[in-house]
Chain A
Amino acid sequence: MDNFSVFIGGKAGDGIDKAGLIIARILNQLGYRLYIYRDYPSIIRGGHTFSIIRVSKDRIATHLNKVDFLLALNQDSVDFHKERLKDNTFIIYDSDLVKLEGLPGGIQTSGLPLGKIIKEENGLPVMRNSCIIGGFSKAIGLEWDILERVFRKNISKALDLNLRVALRGYNEAKEFVKIEPLRNNSLPVLTGNEAIGLGLVKGGLKAYIAYPMTPSSGLLHFLAQSAEDFSLKVIHPESEIAVILMALGFSYAGERVAVGTSGGGFCLMTEGLSLSGMAELPIVIVVGQRPGPSTGVPTHTAQSDLHFVLNAGQGEFPRFVVSPGDAEEAYFWSCVALNISWKYQTPSIILADKSLCEGTYSFDIDSLGELKEENPILWDRKESYKRYLETETGVSPLDFVPDKEAIIKVDSYAHDEFGITTEEAQKIKNMQDKRLRKGQYLMKELEKYETVKVYGNKNSSVALICWGSNKGVCIEAAENLGIKVIHPVVLSPFPIREFQDSLKSVQNLICVENNSTAQLASLINRYGFGINEKILKYDGRPFSLDELEERLKDLVK
């Protein structure tokens, strides 16, 4: 058994999220690569919430609907998830609360009286999850020492009591199967939000400004918590409008800055985005997508804001848009996005979604290329300073306040080279040309990166095309089917040539997207590329591997 899934479910407030992470870290100790899918409603207490921890000997970035272990802290965890059960799924449940009825034969179960155990040990109700983790550890034949080690590292409050409760669960459950440790080393386990945060820090981030909004709030929390460690200024102002305008103030003063939000907050940021384009102020904007329109489904996932971020803001200006596929790409491209923003004095958008932001991945930093903070082009102090000096590349050398020898004027209005407002026709045109030239040079610079990735059977005539967090599920499905995957990571400026190269030998192109209108398909169509089939999902849930394979059945023979 070297590829299996563990489901843990309960009601909001049961600590399911943390419990899922602890289970993942236990399995991580055994050398497994892992991915956690989190599913929860926008409710603080009550409601049904669950995590699926999937592990494998190889790297993975998707979950399966079918699970091998089901840990039930409430009745919903069984009743709502019967379709997840296999013939040999092992269920561990709170026998004080959960009744198992009408389950398929062959299913093995282990009931633990969690409420009773907690009461006997004088524990708190939330410690039921520690108890069930103890039971699960026994079920997989884990050595107690490993569980204890993981608890010691991950639990700061009432550790001894949690351990005592876990030990009761461990002793009262039965062993179901012996999960053998692998020879892999253990990797850090990170959420997409954390990987984005670390990538930004690597790129020299000095300030992070955000208004809370799922699914990007985790990034705000992570950076706020690490602010002191990284000497980072983290601010939560009055609105997303204030967020982006404050950030542009930082940018003007020469401090590398990023903001984070979701579609709704990004709506409010668009005037600031356009200002960044006009005033040529570097900024990185993290957009974690969730289903719209409007409030939509706050705690679920979607990929329906691609055209929104590509086109947001009045007027025409270059922008860098990148959509990483997993935690490692999130780290890598967040650093690159910051560098590009400063080099080209233009906004960079990191387009993520709830699956990436809140998904948890094994993170292998050694798999990534060399990354560092790159310097922007600075004023050489030879001629008198002009903030918007016209140059061949369109990039005007930067200088920052305070500088005795320079006056630095930025302007949202059409302006001359010095930054003084103008309405003269020729100057307006020249400056627009200058800003657009930056986009052309940015496109050239991007040639040094792998902007379009290809996976699976590279000679196959059938290819899946996907973007963002669908990378993992498409790769695994394609490998199983012997077909190819094309995953454009950079979406603006669109890497036309690299994309064309990736299509070699492809006759049947199938797009896989978490939206209802096939937004990537229409984007590539703009550049003259057509698709043959679409697999779309827009119910707020990501594709699971088994679901995608099922939907591919008729299309790939």
Chain B
Amino acid sequence: MTMKDLSTYAKNTWCPGCGNFAILNSIKAVLDALNEEGFPLEKVVLVSGIGCHAKIVDYINVNSFYAIHGRVVPVATGIKLANPDLKVIGFAGDGDAYGEGLEHLIFAAKRNISITMIIHNNRVYGLTTGQYTPTSPLGFRGRSTPKGTIELPLNPLELMLTSGATFIARGYSHGIELLKKNFKEAINHKGFSFIDVLQVCVTFFNMYEYYNKRVYELKGEDLQNYDGALRKIREWDYNSDVPIALGTFYKKEIPPFEERFLKYETKAVDRKLKIKEILEQAI
């Protein structure tokens, strides 16, 4: 399979300059590399929610589940538990990961199940034409908050660290090399991996200039140090005008959920006999 094969006939309908292109190109490159290294792509399943981000599964010619708003995580979890040999990669917007579907994200981190969640965090609702999201900065003027929001954004990385995620990174839709590195590391991680991608929406919230002035790449961090990771994650609260770190903040290997869950999965059983035994016991 070559890069070209990973495209479909679906017409791309993202706005010109949309940050989603960087995510699409990076993930395709990473999938291609996986394939080159001998991981068969039929064992990959992509899951998306609803929103601009979700169209990504129509644009990549591998198995996919185009799900519903906020529910990428439980679908991905079900697929992984049904067949742990699969690599399940979820894509979600900040609306459906941090808004409607937040509970699922927390539980996936808590379980430490080996799925990857890539969040297209443009900090605005794009497809519904410009409302604030859980990560919009204070005072954001959207169509549902014309006078500006009066609530602080949440810091999704901090939430993921305290919930038990074992791989936490931040990407940016400007600079595809770092994004590819982020994705590859996340997909190969055993346990729950999470990447918040600052994906710029050029139409409703163009942050390129703002981010370009502030982003820097993390280097030489002790990735297993929880307290250190927490400090680094708290450096930027998605609201203040301070430097914004990109790259991996935390990475730790502990036995993932599916390994503990599926301990008796392979056992062959005679169901007919077992039903008979249960009925006899019930006399």
- Do A421 and B81 touch across chains, with their CB atoms under 8 A apart? no
- Do B79 and A188 touch across chains, with their CB atoms under 8 A apart? no
- Do A402 and B269 touch across chains, with their CB atoms under 8 A apart? no
* A21 nearest in chain B by CB position: B282
Stretch at the interface among A69-77, A173-181, A235-243, A505-513: A235-243
Q: Quick one: which of A202, A231, A407 contacts B264, CB cutoff 8 A?
A: A231
- The reply on B254 being an interface residue by CB < 8 A is no
Stretch at the interface among B58-66, B140-148, B215-223: B58-66
- The reply on B150 being an interface residue by CB < 8 A is no
The smallest beta-carbon distance between B88 and chain A, in angstroms, is: 8
- The reply on A520 being an interface residue by CB < 8 A is no
- Do B283 and A28 touch across chains, with their CB atoms under 8 A apart? yes
User: Which residues on the B side are within 8 Å of A202 (C-beta)?
Assistant: 271, 275
The smallest beta-carbon distance between B191 and chain A, in angstroms, is: 18
- Do B81 and A235 touch across chains, with their CB atoms under 8 A apart? yes
* A412 nearest in chain B by CB position: B68
Could you tell me the distance between the alpha carbons of A237 and B261 in the complex, rounded to whole angstroms?
A: 13
A188, A228, A409: most-surrounded residue (chain B CB, <10 A): A409
User: Which residues on the B side are within 8 Å of A228 (C-beta)?
Assistant: 264, 267
* B74 nearest in chain A by CB position: A245
Q: Quick one: which of A237, A245, A419 contacts B67, CB cutoff 8 A?
A: A245
- Do B275 and A242 touch across chains, with their CB atoms under 8 A apart? no
- Do B10 and A246 touch across chains, with their CB atoms under 8 A apart? no
User: Which residues on the B side are within 8 Å of A189 (C-beta)?
Assistant: 282-283
- The reply on B280 being an interface residue by CB < 8 A is yes
The smallest beta-carbon distance between A428 and chain B, in angstroms, is: 15
Within 8 A of B (CB), among A159-196: 186-190, 194
- Do A201 and B81 touch across chains, with their CB atoms under 8 A apart? no
User: Which residues on the A side are within 8 Å of B238 (C-beta)?
Assistant: none
- Do A403 and B74 touch across chains, with their CB atoms under 8 A apart? no
- Do B42 and A187 touch across chains, with their CB atoms under 8 A apart? no
Stretch at the interface among A247-255, A285-293, A302-310: A247-255
Q: Quick one: which of B50, B71, B85, B278 contacts A198, CB cutoff 8 A?
A: B278
Interface string of B266-283 (1 = CB under 8 A from A): 011101001101111111
- Do B75 and A248 touch across chains, with their CB atoms under 8 A apart? yes
- Do A207 and B10 touch across chains, with their CB atoms under 8 A apart? no
Could you tell me the distance between the alpha carbons of A408 and B78 in the complex, rounded to whole angstroms?
A: 16
- Do B107 and A242 touch across chains, with their CB atoms under 8 A apart? yes
User: Which residues on the B side are within 8 Å of A271 (C-beta)?
Assistant: 68, 71
User: Which residues on the A side are within 8 Å of B62 (C-beta)?
Assistant: 407
Interface string of B224-237 (1 = CB under 8 A from A): 00000000000000
* B70 nearest in chain A by CB position: A241
- Do B81 and A230 touch across chains, with their CB atoms under 8 A apart? no
User: Which residues on the B side are within 8 Å of A243 (C-beta)?
Assistant: 74
- Do B282 and A242 touch across chains, with their CB atoms under 8 A apart? no
- The reply on A427 being an interface residue by CB < 8 A is no
* B46 nearest in chain A by CB position: A409
- Do A245 and B71 touch across chains, with their CB atoms under 8 A apart? yes
* Given A207-B82, A409-B57, A242:B283 Cβ within 8 A: no
Q: Quick one: which of B43, B106, B274, B282 contacts A188, CB cutoff 8 A?
A: B282
* Given A250-B79, A407-B63, A242:B58 Cβ within 8 A: no
User: Which residues on the B side are within 8 Å of A194 (C-beta)?
Assistant: 282
The smallest beta-carbon distance between B265 and chain A, in angstroms, is: 7
* Given A241-B74, A247-B78, A201:B66 Cβ within 8 A: no
User: Which residues on the A side are within 8 Å of B271 (C-beta)?
Assistant: 201-202, 230
* A411 nearest in chain B by CB position: B66
Could you tell me the distance between the alpha carbons of A420 and B81 in the complex, rounded to whole angstroms?
A: 25
- Do A238 and B86 touch across chains, with their CB atoms under 8 A apart? no
- Do B274 and A402 touch across chains, with their CB atoms under 8 A apart? no
User: Which residues on the A side are within 8 Å of B67 (C-beta)?
Assistant: 245, 248, 275, 412
User: Which residues on the B side are within 8 Å of A198 (C-beta)?
Assistant: 275, 278-279
User: Which residues on the B side are within 8 Å of A245 (C-beta)?
Assistant: 67-68, 71, 74-75, 78, 104
- The reply on B210 being an interface residue by CB < 8 A is no
Could you tell me the distance between the alpha carbons of A365 and B276 in the complex, rounded to whole angstroms?
A: 10
- The reply on B55 being an interface residue by CB < 8 A is yes
- The reply on A404 being an interface residue by CB < 8 A is yes
* B275 nearest in chain A by CB position: A198
- The reply on B27 being an interface residue by CB < 8 A is no
- Do B10 and A420 touch across chains, with their CB atoms under 8 A apart? yes
Q: Quick one: which of B43, B78, B282 contacts A363, CB cutoff 8 A?
A: B282
- Do A229 and B61 touch across chains, with their CB atoms under 8 A apart? no
User: Which residues on the A side are within 8 Å of B61 (C-beta)?
Assistant: 407
Within 8 A of B (CB), among A78-129: none
User: Can you report 26 A-B residue pairs in the complex whose CB atoms are below 8 A from each other?
Assistant: A153-B281, A188-B279, A188-B280, A188-B282, A202-B275, A226-B274, A229-B274, A233-B262, A235-B81, A242-B74, A248-B75, A249-B75, A249-B76, A252-B65, A252-B78, A252-B82, A255-B83, A275-B68, A279-B65, A363-B282, A365-B279, A402-B83, A402-B86, A403-B42, A408-B63, A421-B58
Minimum-distance CB pairs A-B, first 8: A249-B78, A253-B82, A245-B74, A246-B78, A188-B282, A402-B42, A249-B79, A411-B66
Spell out B's residues near A (CB within 8 Å): 8-10, 40, 42-43, 45, 47, 50, 55, 57-58, 61-68, 71, 73-83, 85-86, 103-104, 106-107, 261-262, 264-265, 267-269, 271, 274-275, 277-283
